[in-house]
Amino acid sequence: MKVAVVGFGMMGRQIAQVFAQHGHKVAVTDENKQALAAGIDEISNGPYGVKSAIAKGKMTANEGAKTLEAIRATSKIDDACKDADLVIEAVFEDLHLKREILSRLDSIVPHKALIASNTSTLGISKIASKLGKKERVLGMHFFNPAQITKLVEIVKGEHTSLSTVQDAAKIVQMIGKTPIIARDEPGFVANRLGLTLYIEASRLFEEGVATIQDIDLAMKLGYNHPMGPFETADLVGLDTRIRNLEALFQQTSDEKWIPPKSLREMVNQGYIGDPTRRPWSKGGYYTYTGSNTQTHPPP
């Protein structure tokens, strides 16, 4: 299968690596040529990249070489997508930008190809509103880091055909992931649940009910979550958290999705998450609060 990934930021890189590791040819495209170079480097040398997987015995050197050989980078979207069987849009969580990208794809990709958006909160029907072949458009939401997380949300838009959903589910299983099907509602399933937990955890922190360490431990030891809500936020990025919450608030007008004051303060001061994932960040919750007891599960 030929896969094209449009947008080579954090999630685009992870998605491209997953498909390449499972033997698929992947064309990646981004107008920013520096992003293309940085993305290929991260797939090779990043914390969840090929060299790390080889060192941990999760991949042979030969498999690693084949993974890197399977990924082709180009700054021309037409070149990347013209013969793809599946195109995944993975640009920033911005409705106008995603609409613009998908509108361009409508006239480029083969008629039989699936067009998927990796959106985590925005409505698929809104993103695809200007497309001609809406029946072949859906959400395919991978989770960070996509190389190790098992879940992919498949989101059925208003016009998405049943065969498109079925084809997407087969593709997800083919790359070793587990699909769940969600109706096109703000936040879908996983983010609606996860962000609800994060909002309540933030309220407990801001009210002084418990420390971030103890809130995280409550979910890890009490509910067997692999990571607490603040560890998760640091991993995915606090700037991403704000965008997710703002998108939900704009779509629903429900005040429960207004980003917490503490989150805005941290991002405004340059604390936007785990600096090993975002080198320009001062740190995340654990750095901001002066704690060094944060523990992440091994990948």
Look up 111 and say whether it is catalytic. no
d(CA 107, CA 101): 11
94-121 core/surface letters (b: 16 or more CB in 10 A; e: else):
ebeebbebbeebbebbeeebbbbbbbbb
DSSP for 171-198, please give it. Answer: HHHHTT-EEEEEES-TTTTHHHHHHHHH
Catalytic, 120? Answer yes
Chain centre to alpha carbon of residue 44: 19
- Measuring CA to CA, which residue among 195, 202, 218 is closest to residue 289? 202
Residue tagged active-site, from 118, 120, 144, 281: 120
According to DSSP, residue 134 is labeled G
- Which residue among the candidates 118, 141, 231, 281 is catalytic per the annotation? 141
Q: If you search the block for the tokens 């695809």, which residue do you land on?
A: 128
- Active-site annotation holder among 144, 191, 202, 244: 191
Using an 8 Å Cβ cutoff, are 44 and 66 in contact?
no
Residue 107 is among the residues annotated as catalytic for this protein: no
Q: Phi and psi of 263, rounded to 5°?
A: -65, -45
Q: Among this protein's residues, is 141 annotated catalytic? A: yes
Query: Which of the residues 153, 202, 231, 244 is marked catalytic?
Result: 153
The owner of tokens 């969600």 is 182
Q: How far is Cα 148 from Cα 6, in angstroms, rounded to an integer?
A: 21
Residues carrying an active site annotation: 120, 141, 153, 191
